[in-house]
Chain A
Amino acid sequence: MNKVRRFLRAFFLVDIVQGLSITLRHYFGRKVTVQYPEVVKSLPPRFKGMLRLFRDEAGEPLCIACKACQRICPSHCFDIEGVRPEGSKVMRPTKFDWKLDRCTFCGLCVEVCPTDAIRFSETFRMSALGKDKLHFHLPDMYLRGEELQSHLCSGCLK
């Protein structure tokens, strides 16, 4: 009996029709393509975009040049030097180089930063013409969003 049923199912192409009906249903279903340049997916808060340095409300840099990020970085992206300005309690970076082309966006630097100075931005378009433009230097590390992007290593261009 089972054999007969199997034969009938095969002969009347039941499996074929079943497959076709599934694809037909999806034909009228929802389309998920995001039309990228016009529509950009909203990014989650923990999104790992380009790294940037932040300032506090008063506009003072948060970075104290403790080099914790430089030490933890598995791929040695950072090159940091700092001095203590006259009359200041904390160190300030005089050099803060970040090599985007080495970065693997693991986020260890963000986690170890004691002052939350280095954080991920939401900038994810990171292409540049030339490898040297992927090296960021100090003033640009404070840029944000579109500016950061359009200044992909403006320091080198100057």
Chain B
Amino acid sequence: MAENQRILVCAGTGCASSGALPIIDILIDEIKRQGLEETVSVVGTGCQGFCEKGPTLVIEPQQILYTRVKGEDVAEIIEQELVKGERVERLLLVDQETQKPVSSMADINFFAKQHRIVLHNCGVIDPKKIEDYTAREGYKAIEKALKEMSPEDALEEVKKSGLRGRGGAGFPTGLKWGFCRATPSDKKYIICNADEGDPGAFMDRSVLEGDPHSVIEGMLIGAYAIGADEGYIYCRAEYPLAIKHLGIAIKQAEEAGYLGDNILGSGFNFHLKVFEGAGAFVCGEETALMASIEGKRGMPRVRPPFPAVSGLWGKPTNVNNVETWSNVPHILRKGAEWYTQFGTEKSKGTKIFALTGKVNNTGLVEVPMGTTLREIIFDIGDGIQGGKKFKAVQIGGPSGGCLPEDMLDLAVDYDTLTQAGAMVGSGGLVIMDETTCMVDIARYFLNFTKKESCGKCTPCREGTTRMYEILDRITKGEGKEEDLDTLENLALTIKETSLCALGQSAPNPILATLKYFRHEYEAHIRDHKCPAHNCSALLSYTIDAEKCKMCSLCAKNCPVNCITGDKKTNTPYVIDEDKCIKCGTCMDKCKFGAVTRA
């Protein structure tokens, strides 16, 4: 039995949704019952990244990962692992290749292939304790900056690191800070953009939940370098846990003298507030975000003037996102030279991706820039669920695009992705298989952007709706041959004439799918078929009376009760097409292959 063991239970939003929180309580009770409280401690951490397998917990120092843990498993884990020093095999991860349980995190591809800089503390420390953060070199970077570096030095270091904005466009961070620093003003602001709105991206949330102090420290350094004394963290109200942890962290940092006036006796002042966003994707755009803090409709405004010249309340303002800020303390502590060893020539460091969709290991992964899509999806992500065939990966959310299989060896960085018609964006990677319809995906994203368009400029307001309508008609089999030209023309106009990045990138999902999957559009239009068997209007389900054993399973499971039949009267089971919502449940449930889809 090892001395001083720690049990790290993931309490991020994903695992909490899977029931992690009661497990912490049960663990504590059980440890007490076993009299182990002197040597074993339980820590509720932020996201450990492996959402698919949640709730997860890690035993330290052995680095043993348990997955899909339930309350009733706790006693067994403690008995086996902590008392006897043996594994509970059924709760270990099974390697898809070898089909053997893997116990050590070092042997799990999901973790082994990552390189964690920003996520360095996530899942390892208790985010509610500043001492956990300081114990892992936390706030050393700002101390170093205040004691050993001038603001210019700090700025120079960030410039040299080659760090680029992780929010999407990849603008060089040091350069951006420099603009704001160069604008003379009695007051400057810095803002952390934590309005992570891309559906399918949750890295910022995980960092805020799991390591809030790293963001605060990054902002402190930025404020020092730029000459700002007030900051905001604009966080979505949909992230209650992140807001809570930020609140605790700010209070602790104030008490510890890292925030407030005359920080660490240096004469440098910095005050930080959390602003809860009220639910608008467009507020991820920096001018809309500032309008929102000012209490207005979150409508972007024309740039220039850029925020570095005239931002929040007309003062010079610098906005970076969570992941960007969180990189900064590491850069300052370990130096730009250390940082530049990661990544590609023009994209330095690492990037966090939210790996979701039809992939085996969904979760949060941090890899050096330049890692190929294939490595991320097949090594870390462990390939496609259910042995299906990979079709495409959607990168960068509603602003990004879908890339097909032959681009899997693309090394991911800002420039290569943009060239390929996608973008890094916030870093959502949604994996699609043969059952995903690419027209439907484009329609899905346009439905999203049309709802989230602020309505200010004509092309985005009117155009996204028209593009959606055309796509919707195509998925219903009502498309016309000329629709593709209309779509393409409209998409290009919207791209070139919209006011902000939301509109300018809204057509990307269409342009990329048209580029790589045009045949799917044509199949919908010409043959009235959805090759992925996804678009319900183009599907019909029928029951093959010969194969049907009248078990009634389909009828019982039908959510809309549209299947009738009776074994007693020998009435065959049939599907009422008018009522059917084409959910496919009957087909999934049928054990005899009697339900067919056409």
> Is the A/B pair a real complex?
no
Q: Give A residues with C-beta under 8 Å from B.
A: none
Q: Give B residues with C-beta under 8 Å from A.
A: none
